[in-house]
């Protein structure tokens, strides 16, 4: 019984147990060819692995790697999803690799689901299949021309080729592996109409048109007592609507806004493909950072292959630019006014910082009365328009003291009408800062 998984960024997983240390051992002579690896794990059953697209691949801009359990017990499915991957390095330019590895709780089905695939002309191969406790235990698929008509691999080194000349899997294509039958057991499923074989433990239900409760009865020498149980298969409606939040968004000059695509209905999991206002392909995650004005769109696709194109309108708000000026010289004893002047933009609010009483004031102009050297310091203001704040504009204030007058006089002190007198006021120099 496994209760842990290890995920390798090169498109494959391995199984582990929480009671072991380490609980997962992903030893491999090459992480790019996991099924052919001759590396030994201890204990050996930790080598068991699943390759969805085992190759030297890497995430690119907008890519994601997610693990999520969906559904309700006892029919939960663990989904390991690779979105927006490519071959490693510049050799992968133009690739868009999307797939899932799915582990089913009750049936023990192992599946690989394929999403939209785009491959460039550089030819390469990928491991797709299962690997056991040693590399001679394998169950893989191989093709050199068409991923929709693969065959069973005869060796662990046989892989699936991918390039522009090879037909990729259709969106929604599923490769499924089942567990072997138990000797001495017999099964009977009802209703049997949609089943490929109603007398095995894990039949494939195909073309299920409506929610159906399947009942299985198990008998035979493998079981001390016969028993039966129900398996409910729920059919969900395909996707018909999706939206982007916020539907009308804006960002400050030089910034961006985060958009989120949401499916309104449909069958999970969903894939996402974003496009900018010029219809350039962007990210494949549920969220997208937008920093271009115009209509952004996201093509949301559900597990049934149904799609809906959602739209959001993005605009830009001009961030204000301001500076600070003073109405007169900074002489001790004067009343001065500091003003935030608009260089660009249309600010509607201001917030000052600095020594009291200016710090915290919210008017465009602020006044300091009867200034002294105690008012010396840096005063700054941030102007805001529609949630977009400017960079702080600062003014360094230094109060200049008045000169000290030591004496005054006139020569001569007394004059006749119409005569002259020289006035004299010696003053001490202002101390340097």
In a domain, 407, yes or no: no
Q: Is the pLDDT of residue 154 over 70?
A: yes
- Residue, of 237 and 1, whose pLDDT is higher: 237
Q: Is the pLDDT of residue 258 over 60?
A: yes
Q: Is the pLDDT of residue 335 over 70?
A: yes
In a domain, 417, yes or no: no
In a domain, 278, yes or no: yes
- Looking at the DSSP bridge assignments, the partners of residue 363 are none
- Residue, of 279 and 429, whose pLDDT is higher: 279
Percent of the chain past pLDDT 90, that is, above it, reads 69
Which domain, by its residues, includes 387?
A: 321-397
Q: Is the pLDDT of residue 433 over 50?
A: no
**Three-class secondary structure of residue 374 per DSSP:** helix
Average pLDDT over the chain, rounded to whole? 90
Q: pLDDT tens digit string along 350-370?
A: 999 999 899 999 999 999 999
In the structure encoding, which two tokens stand for residue 78, read together?
């663990």
For the whole prediction, is pTM greater than 0.95?
Answer: no
pLDDT recorded at residue 387: 92
Average the pLDDT over each of 164-168, 197-201, 286-290, 424-428 and give the range with the smallest value: 424-428
Quickly state the pLDDT bin for 223 (edges 50, 70, 90).
low
We report the CATH number of the domain holding residue 310 as: 2.60.40.10
Q: What do you get for the CA distance between the two ends of the chain, in Å?
A: 80
Q: pLDDT tens digit string along 93-106?
A: 999 999 999 999 88
Cβ partners under 8 Å of residue 382, min gap 6: 350, 351, 353, 389, 390, 391, 392, 393
Q: Is the pLDDT of residue 344 over 60?
A: yes
The strand ranges marked E within 73-169 are: 77-87, 97-104, 110-114, 124-131, 138-142, 151-152, 160-162
Average the pLDDT over each of 3-12, 119-128, 169-178 and give the range with the smallest value: 169-178
Q: Is the pLDDT of residue 417 over 70?
A: yes
Pairing of strands 124-131, 49-54: antiparallel
Same domain for 385 and 307? Answer: no
- Residue, of 89 and 412, whose pLDDT is higher: 89
Single residue among 136, 160, 179 that ends a domain in this structure = 179
pLDDT recorded at residue 317: 95
CA-CA distance, 353 to 78, in Å (whole number)? 53
Question: H helices within 84-222, ranges in order?
Answer: none
In the structure encoding, which two tokens stand for residue 421, read together?
């007198």
For residues 167-191, give the mean pLDDT: 87
Same domain for 15 and 156? Answer: yes
pLDDT recorded at residue 430: 54
Instruction: Specify whether the CB–CB gap between 63 and 284 falls below 8 A.
Output: yes
In a domain, 406, yes or no: no
Q: Is the pLDDT of residue 393 over 90?
A: yes
Nearest to 140 by CA among 122, 127, 123: 127
Same domain for 53 and 158? Answer: yes
Q: Is the pLDDT of residue 225 over 50?
A: yes
Q: Is the pLDDT of residue 235 over 50?
A: yes
**Three-class secondary structure of residue 256 per DSSP:** coil
pLDDT recorded at residue 427: 56
In a domain, 402, yes or no: no
Q: How many domains does the chain have?
A: 4
Cβ partners under 8 Å of residue 277, min gap 6: 292, 293, 294, 295, 296, 314
CA-CA distance, 257 to 426, in Å (whole number)? 66
Cβ partners under 8 Å of residue 248, min gap 6: 312, 313, 315
Q: Is the pLDDT of residue 73 over 90?
A: no
Same domain for 163 and 217? Answer: no
Percent of the chain past pLDDT 70, that is, above it, reads 96
In a domain, 415, yes or no: no
Same domain for 327 and 359? Answer: yes
For residues 375-389, give the mean pLDDT: 95
CA-CA distance, 408 to 26, in Å (whole number)? 95
Q: Considering only the C-alpha atoms of the chain, give the largest distance between any 2 of them, rounded to a whole number of Å.
A: 145
Q: pLDDT tens digit string along 16-52?
A: 999 999 899 888 888 899 999 998 888 989 999 999 9
């Amino acid at each position: 019984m496994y209760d842990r998984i290890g995920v390798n960024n090169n498109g494959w997983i391995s199984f582990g147990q929480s009671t072991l240390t380490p609980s997962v051992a992903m030893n491999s002579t090459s992480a790019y060819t996991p099924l052919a690896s001759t590396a030994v794990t201890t204990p050996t059953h930790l080598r068991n692995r699943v390759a969805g697209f085992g190759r030297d691949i890497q995430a690119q801009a907008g890519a994601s790697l997610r693990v999520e359990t969906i559904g309700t017990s006892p029919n939960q499915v663990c989904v390991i999803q690779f979105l927006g991957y490519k071959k490693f390095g510049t050799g992968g330019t133009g690739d868009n690799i999307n797939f899932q590895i799915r582990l089913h709780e009750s049936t023990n089905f192992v599946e690989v689901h394929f999403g939209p695939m785009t491959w460039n002309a550089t030819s390469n191969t990928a491991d797709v299949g299962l690997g056991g406790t040693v590399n001679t235990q394998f169950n893989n698929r191989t093709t050199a021309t068409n991923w929709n008509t693969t065959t069973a691999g005869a060796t662990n080194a046989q892989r699936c080729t991918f390039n522009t000349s090879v037909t990729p899997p259709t969106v929604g294509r599923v490769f499924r592996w089942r567990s072997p039958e138990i000797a001495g057991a017999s099964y009977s499923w009802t209703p049997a109409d949609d089943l490929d074989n109603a007398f095995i433990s894990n039949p494939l239900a195909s073309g299920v048109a409506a929610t159906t409760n399947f009942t299985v009865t198990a008998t035979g020498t493998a079981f001390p007592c016969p028993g039966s149980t129900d398996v409910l298969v729920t059919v969900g409606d395909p996707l018909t609507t999706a939206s982007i939040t916020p539907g009308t968004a804006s960002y400050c000059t030089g910034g961006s806004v985060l958009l989120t695509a949401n499916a309104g209905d449909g069958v999970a999991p969903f894939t996402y493909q974003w496009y900018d206002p010029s219809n350039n392909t962007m990210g494949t995650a549920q969220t997208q950072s937008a920093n271009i004005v115009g209509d952004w769109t996201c093509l949301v696709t559900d597990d049934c292959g149904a799609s809906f194109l959602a739209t959001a309108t993005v605009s830009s708000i001009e961030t204000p630019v301001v500076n600070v000026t003073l109405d007169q010289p900074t002489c001790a004893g004067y009343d001065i006014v500091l003003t935030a002047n608009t260089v660009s933009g249309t600010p509607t609010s201001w917030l000052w910082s600095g020594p009291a009483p200016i710090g915290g004031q919210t008017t465009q102009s602020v006044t300091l009365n009867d200034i002294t050297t105690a008012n010396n310091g840096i005063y700054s203001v941030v102007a805001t328009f529609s949630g977009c704040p400017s960079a702080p504009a600062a003014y360094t204030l230094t109060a200049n003291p008045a000169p000290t007058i030591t004496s005054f006089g006139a020569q001569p002190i007394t004059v006749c009408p119409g005569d002259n007198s020289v006035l004299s006021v010696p003053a001490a120099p202002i101390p340097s800062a």
